[in-house]
Amino acid sequence: MDRRGLFFYLKTDQYSYVDRVFLNMANRFISVFVVFSLISFCFSTVVRKCNQGSDESNSRIHNQVFISGCDEPPCKLPKNTTINFDINFTPSYDVARLKTRVYGWLLLLPDIPIPYFELDDVTACNNLYLKSSGARASCPVRKGQQYVYKTKIMMKDSYPKVKVTLHWAFVDEKNNADVFCFELPVKITSSRQNT
């Protein structure tokens, strides 16, 4: 008698009952892992590394930034909604204090950054979690440790409907160097009730 699994092909007369149960469980575990991996890949937002110029092939970042309601840029950010941001990063060196630098560039004024005052130049330490366990973390952040920064942004009705390039960086307060940085085009739109 044959039994087919997604990853293991079983001939039931060749294995003991315990082996068959183990291989069946392994099939199910691997199947679930593959499905969740594909789901997490599909729902991340594709962003661009900062300061990469025109080399598009090396500048795209996958599976690190998750913005509610946005998989592909430009991200539409409706007024009167709350947008969730989950940003995964791994420092390449120990950082004592981490702050955010968040601003946008209007297409008409590309040389003048417009800061997002609620998140620009504020501590990132209060919104950190360990990626491995989901437990709350704080500064200092350690080299090689994977972190998730989580925040919510309320898109206020007073914001103008514009297209901007969003620049988001985690900055080492000591030397003012970027620890992780990405950019993506966003469009502030009318509220969902009005669209």
| CATH (domain of 100) | 2.60.40.770
**Residue whose entry in the numeric block shows the structure tokens 């392994």:** 26
Q: Are residues 108 and 94 both part of a single domain?
A: yes
- Amino acid identity for residue 63 in this structure: N
CA–CA dist 58, 50 (Å, integer): 11
Both 139 and 106 in a single domain? yes
138, 186: one domain: yes
Q: Does residue 102 share a domain with residue 11?
A: no
Q: What is the per-residue DSSP string for 67-104? A: ETTBSSSSEEEETTEEEEEEEEE--SS-BS-EEEEEEE
- What distances in angstroms separate CA 181 from CA 25, 87, 166, one per listed residue? 41, 10, 11
pLDDT in the model for residue 194: 45
Cα dist from 12 to 22, 23, 115, whole Å: 12, 11, 65
Query: What is the C-alpha separation between 177 and 98, in angstroms, rounded?
Result: 10
Full domain range(s) for residue 180: 48-194
Q: Are residues 24 and 79 in the same domain?
A: no
Closest alpha carbon to 155 in 85, 92, 96: 85
* pTM higher than 0.75: no
Terminal C-alpha separation, the chain: 59
Q: Distance between CA atoms of 86 and 69, rounded to whole angstroms?
A: 12
Write the pLDDT tens digit of every residue in 26-41. Answer: 444 443 333 333 333 3
**Which parts of the chain register pLDDT below 70?**
1-15, 18-44, 52-63, 110, 192-195
Q: Which of 141, 94, 87 is nearest to 119 (CA)?
A: 87
Residue-wise pLDDT for 139-167, tens only, equals 999 999 999 999 999 999 988 898 999 99
**Domain count across the chain:** 2
Same structural domain, 53 and 90: yes
What confidence score (pLDDT) does residue 44 get? 66
Can you read off the two tokens belonging to residue 49?
A: 């590394």
- Are both 140 and 78 inside the same structural domain? yes
What pairing do the DSSP bridges indicate for beta strands 98-106 and 122-123? antiparallel
Strands 65-67 and 178-189, sheet pairing = unpaired
